[in-house]
Amino acid sequence: MPVTIKMPALSPTMEEGTLAKWLVKVGDKVSSGDIMAEIETDKATMEFEAVDEGTILSIDVAEGTEGVKVGTVIATLAGEDEDAEAPAPAPKVEAAPAPAPAPAPVAKVEPVAAAAAPAPAAPAAAPASHADRVIASPLAKRIAADKGIDLAGVKGTGPNGRIVKADVADARPVAASAAPAPAAAPVAAAAPVAVPDFGIPYEAAKLNNVRKTIARRLTEAKQTIPHIYLTVDIRLDALLKLRGELNKALEVQGVKLSVNDLIIKALAKALLIVPKCNVSFAGDELRSYSRADISVAVAAPSGLITPIIVDAGNKSVSAIATEMKTLANKARKGKLQPHEYQGGTASLSNLGMFGIKQFDAVINPPQGMILAVGAGEQRPYVIDGALAVATVMSVTGSFDHRAIDGADGAELMQALKTLIENPLGLLA
C-alpha cells in the first residue's frame, strides 16, 4: 500500500510550519535518511528526512505553503515492491463510481457549464475535480474564499490536477462570486495597510516564521517581564593574557579560544556561585536550576537564534570553544536540531565585535536573566590608586525582577567581574 508522508512535529511546541522547499519530485526513489524537504518552523529551517524506502507518487503540498498543520499529508510514497506508475490513472478509477449518484448534480451543473463555455470545456476542469468535488489544498481553498474565487473554474497545476496556492494567488473573482467578495476582502486586506508608507518608496518582504516568533517573544518579554538592568566595568588584561597562553598550548589540538568562549564559562560559573540568579519565573512557582546551560545569541540569515552550551559551568574552556564553533556554524546554515536551541537557564549576547560599548538586552523567556557584552577597549582606569590605561569592557545584566532581586543580581555581576579579572579560576 502507498505510504502517506505527514507534516512532522520538528519540535515539542511545533503546531504548524512552512514547507519551504522540496528536494525531491514525483518519480524519485528515496531511501531512509534521504533529505526530502526543508521545513521552516518557528525557530529555524530544518531538513526533513525520509524514514521509509520507495518512490514518490505525489507531492500534495506545494513548496512555499505556509501554515501547514502537523499531521497534514504532504506527500505519498509507493512501497518498495509497488508499481510507481499505478496511481497515474487513479483519477479515472476514482471517478468511475460517480455516475450512479451523480445524475441530479449533472443536470444542475450542465447549464452553468454551457453558459461558461461550449460542451468540450467540461473535460478541461476534470484535472482539478472528481465529478462535482474540487480538489484543492486547504490553503488554496482559504485564499479562494477570501478573494471570492470559484475553484470550479480554476485549472490546478499540482499533482493530479490539484489546485494549489500559486493557482489562486493571482486569479480574479468570477461574476457569480463577486457579490459576497467585497464583504470579506476589506477584512483580509486591512492588516497590510495598517502602517502608512507616506509615499516613501520601499520593498516589502514577508516575515518568515523565525522572525514572527522573535517579534512575538520579544514583545511578550518587554510587556510582561519587569526588567532590571545592572552594569559593571570589567578589566580584561589578565583574561587576554591567559587566552594568549592557552591558545599557544591548544594550537596542536586545533583549538582556538575566543574571548566570548571564556565569558560563557565565566557566566556559567557565576550562576553556580550565585544560584539565586540561575532561576526562572513560572507562574506560581520559582524554578531553581542545578546546572548552568548558557544560550548564546547567534545572528543567522533567518533571524537571531540561541544555541545552547549545556552544563557550561562544568565544561573545559576548550570544550566550550569547540562546541560553540560547531553550533554557530549549524545555526548560520539553519541546521540546528531542536535540542540544540531549546532550553537554557540564562543567555549571553555579545555585540563587542561591532564596537558596541554597552547595551541592554531583552530577556529570553522563560529564562531569568541575559548578559549583554560590550567591546573591550583601552580606557583610563585606576589601578592600585594610580591612573593608568587598561583594557576594559562594560557588561550589563538584564534580570527578571519577579524572580531575581536587585541585590542578588548585583552579587552575580560581582562574581562575574571577579572571575574575569582573576581568570585562573575559570580553569579550576
Q: Which residue among the candidates 130, 227, 339, 401 is catalytic per the annotation?
A: 401
Residues 163 and 139: beta-carbon distance below 8 Å:
no
How far apart (Å, rounded) are the C-alpha atoms in residues 18 and 95?
32
Active site residue 401: yes
Question: ∠ CA 124-125-129 to the nearest 5 degrees?
Answer: 140
- CB-count exposure of residue 170 (10 Å: 0-12, 13-18, 19+): exposed
Which H/E stretch holds residue 416? helix 406-421
CA angle 10, 15, 21 (to 5 degrees): 55
* Strand 294-296 with 346-350, pairing: parallel
- Distance from C-alpha of 215 to C-alpha of 221, rounded to nearest angstrom: 10
Is residue 344 within 8 A of residue 312, CB to CB? The reply is no
- Cα–Cα distances in angstroms (integers) from residue 107 to residues 99, 117, 120, 239, 359, in the given order: 12, 16, 16, 86, 72
Q: Look at the block and give the residue holding cell 476514482.
A: 94
Burial of 361 (0-12, 13-18, 19+ CB in 10 A): buried
The grid cell for 58 is 505525489
**Residue 286: how many CB atoms within 10 A of its CB?**
14
What's the CA gap between 193 and 146, in Å, rounded? Answer: 17
CA distance 337 to 389: 45
**What is the Cα–Cα distance from 77 to 29, expressed in whole angstroms?**
9
User: Counting Cβ atoms within 10 Å, is residue 248 exposed (0-12), middle (13-18) or buried (19+)?
Assistant: exposed
DSSP symbol at 98:
T
Task: Name beta bridge partners: 4.
Answer: 76
Three-class DSSP category at 390: strand
Catalytic residues: 401
